[in-house]
Amino acid sequence: MFTTSHLIAPAIAPDGAPTLTGRLTLDVGHGGVVSARLRYSALGIVEAVLNGRPVSEAVLTPGWSSYEWRVRVAEADVTELITGDDVLELTLGNGWYRGGLTWMGATEVYGDRLAAVAEVRVVFADGHIQVWGTDESWTARASDTVVDDLYNGQTIDARRRDGTATPVAVEIVDDPEVRFEPYIGPPVVRQGFLRPRASWLSPSGSIIVDFGENIVGWTRAEVRGDAGQVVTLRHAEVLENGEIGIRPLRSARAEDRFVLSGGADVFEPRFTFHGFRYVEVEGWPGGIDALAEGALTAVRIGSRLRRTGTFSCSDPLLNRLHQNVVASTLGNFVDLPTDCPQRDERLGWTGDIAVFAPTSAYLFDVNDFLRDWMRDVVTEQLHHGGVVPYVVPDVLKYVGVPEDITPVDSTAVWSDAVVWVPWAVWMASGDERILADNFEGMLSHLRHVRSLLSESGLWDRGFQFGDWLDPDAPPSDPAAAKADRGLVATACLYRSADLAARIGRVLGRADVFDELAELGARTRAAFRAAYVDLPSRRLRNDCETSYSLAIVFGLLDDDEKAWAGARLAQLVAESGHRISTGFAGTPYILDALSSTGHLETAGRLLLQRECPSWLYPVTMGATTVWERWDSMLPDGSINPGEMTSFNHYALGAVADWMHRELAGLTALEPGYSRVRIAPQPVPGVDHAMTAFDAPWGAIEISWSREGSVVHLDARLPEGVTAEISLGGVREHVGAGHHRFSSELAPAIAV
């Protein structure tokens, strides 16, 4: 990646975040500069500035990867910034490399020394090439950042911007070049800006600022005051008893401190980020009366993703739910798919993205984003003896995990991400690279799990998260679900074996056809023998998640799905059409109901407003998806459980059903080259639309209801064919604008 440049670090660590400075003088006599490109990276996070101007819109570079084996390198076109006598500055933050990680309070997990590398390649008009970069000639000095941490925040002292910091020498850091590789995924960038919606004094007298939406990023401040005066901003997602609710943050302080210079200062912390809607302001000169319009701006950040899928319908609460799913995707796709963005965690939990991948791949082009993350999945797996860890990058292997989930081994849903995520991305994008890149990892996962099975063929040994966060589980024990953990795990193993077999056929891997077919058949037979009670027409673990997985994953024969669906619908009705499933069952329960003829029951479950339900948080003012169905209780108090995030996308996986079944667009071939258009209107929704920007172009569908008649409008680009199913209409169509109408029989109530 780098030809002559070296990884460098300050010889003596300065106070706070260091700025490394190098000076470039262009070679003369070769004509003008045709192009200049900068490659740069760091152990830590780095902001590169050339001649006083940022080289890129990217922030938090180079992000978080499995640093032991790969560190990504950013590249920027700096042709317009080169002058001939140039100064390149690299300011380093602790980031994920050296800063705080996990709820155990670990620091310096990957190393105790920040370092950077950069190289500029200049091409002149006569073909001459000059290469310049980091070496011993550079210097280091203290920047205006005194303290920085992703969880705790950043302290910036504007008095240190006067240029009087004493420079010190740098030295080359001995580090293997093999770790550096190009980005596959997109950079993290600023996504937008929010002005305050309101500000007021809390009961304790604190200034509270409300930005109106729960976002991920930081707050920029423009302020004037006495030199040395400190303004402190504390960030939180919700209010409780009129004050910012900081208990869900656990040990994360989420606090930025700005030390004023005595003049007009602008502060923007870029070596931290927070999940927040509300900001508590302390020390503002002149108090709330002087908090002028424009003084505070919320900066939303996230990986740069192209929006591909949209949805809307006649129900405003469903629309808000869908907007919340989009917001939680953006907020948790900050370089990698995290569980939450605000507390002392923010880890790449594999189970969350395993169930959410289809939704994210419809809403955004996540092909490169998830291909990049999957490189870390299979790399970590390779060093774990075939085990896909709970989180990727796997920081837990250094800091430990709670005793009740050790020793770390393969676990259903979470470890199945190595199969489920590539499948979802491939179906949306049609790009086989993600299948080819990860197929060996899929095989390694399945072979390892096969070694864990009991003699009966069930995956009923070892730790399992199971149907995590079942709403009937106590707040202190989120794994205490109604669903049998062995049933959940065995069902997931069958799904992974089945998908891997299909992927093997796509890739032409005839060498593993028999192995995967045997594993799938054996697992399905073991599941049926243990859990399917044919005489009673029940599952022996008689709960909603069990029926949902058995139906959707194909563990029941076609004639058995009828009684399973009927029993599932009965259980949903007995629960008052409230959610009774956790992480494992929730993404599939609506499919299980609608595919067995219980659309009305699915609709009542979807549109339920009482807790627990998808719409309950919406009625409570949520602008993102919550971790728990009752993260906030009806009285406005925060759930007493230790894990209470207000920005967790996993339960937003319901949007996948809204796209496919309610709106009616399903991919039958990867990349949406062949689709099924089959809207399933539920009582209470009178019209819906969805659009997906496929590789072939935009696919647009809308339908509306007039009494018992449904009118369908579909637009297909060239290269896409569709199977239309609407009441009595059964058509195959190609590119163009198509309209159909049909009378639909009323849904059967349960």
List, in order, residues 6 or more apart from 706 with CB less than 8 Å away: none
Q: For the residues 694-720, what does the mean pLDDT come to? A: 97
Chain mean pLDDT for the chain: 96
Band (pLDDT 50/70/90 cuts) for residue 178 is low
Tokens of 742: 């049909």
Q: For the residues 710-731, what does the mean pLDDT come to? A: 97
Contact by Cβ (8 Å): 42, 92: yes
Whether 627 is catalytic is yes
Please write the tens of the pLDDT for every residue from 159-175: 999 988 899 999 999 87
- What is the rounded CA–CA span in Å between residue 708 and residue 745? 7
Percent of the chain at pLDDT > 90 equals: 94
747 has a pLDDT exceeding 70: no
Give the DSSP H/E element, type plus range, for residue 377.
Answer: helix 367-382
- Among candidate residues 213, 237, 345, 544, the one labeled active-site is 345
Q: For the residues 729-743, what does the mean pLDDT come to? A: 97
Q: What is the per-residue pLDDT for 101?
A: 97
402 has a pLDDT exceeding 80: no
Long-range contacts of 688-691 (CB under 8 A, 24+ apart): 688/311, 688/312, 688/313, 688/314, 688/662, 688/663, 688/664, 689/310, 689/311, 689/312, 689/313, 689/663, 690/309, 690/310, 690/311, 690/658, 690/659, 690/663, 690/664, 690/665, 691/309, 691/310
Bin 16: left if φ > 0, else alpha if -120 < ψ < 50, else beta. left
246 has a pLDDT exceeding 50: yes
DSSP lists the bridge partners of residue 180 as: 71
Please write the tens of the pLDDT for every residue from 50-92: 999 999 999 999 999 999 999 999 999 999 999 999 999 999 9
Q: What is the per-residue pLDDT for 406?
A: 66
114 has a pLDDT exceeding 50: yes
Global pTM reads 0.97
DSSP assignment string, 14-36: -SSSEEEEEEEE--SSS-SEEEE
Task: Annotate 573-604 with b (16+ C-beta within 10 A) or e (fewer).
Answer: eebebbbbbbbbbbbbbbbbbbbbebbbbbbb
Please write the tens of the pLDDT for every residue from 597-637: 999 999 999 999 999 999 999 999 999 999 999 999 999 99
| Cβ burial, residue 705 (10 Å; 0-12/13-18/19+) | middle
404 has a pLDDT exceeding 70: no
Please write the tens of the pLDDT for every residue from 542-569: 999 999 999 999 999 999 999 999 999 9
List, in order, residues 6 or more apart from 489 with CB less than 8 Å away: 411, 412, 458, 459, 460, 464, 466
The residue behind tokens 């795990």 is 489
Q: For the residues 202-210, what does the mean pLDDT come to? A: 97
User: Does a cis peptide bond (omega within 30 degrees of 0) precede residue 389?
Assistant: no
Q: What is the per-residue pLDDT for 4?
A: 87
Whether 345 is catalytic is yes
749 has a pLDDT exceeding 60: no
- Among candidate residues 515, 627, 661, 700, the one labeled active-site is 627
Beta strands at 180-182 and 71-77: parallel, antiparallel or unpaired: parallel
Please write the tens of the pLDDT for every residue from 262-304: 999 999 999 999 999 999 999 999 999 999 888 999 999 999 9
Contact by Cβ (8 Å): 409, 387: yes
Give the DSSP H/E element, type plus range, for residue 740.
Answer: strand 736-743
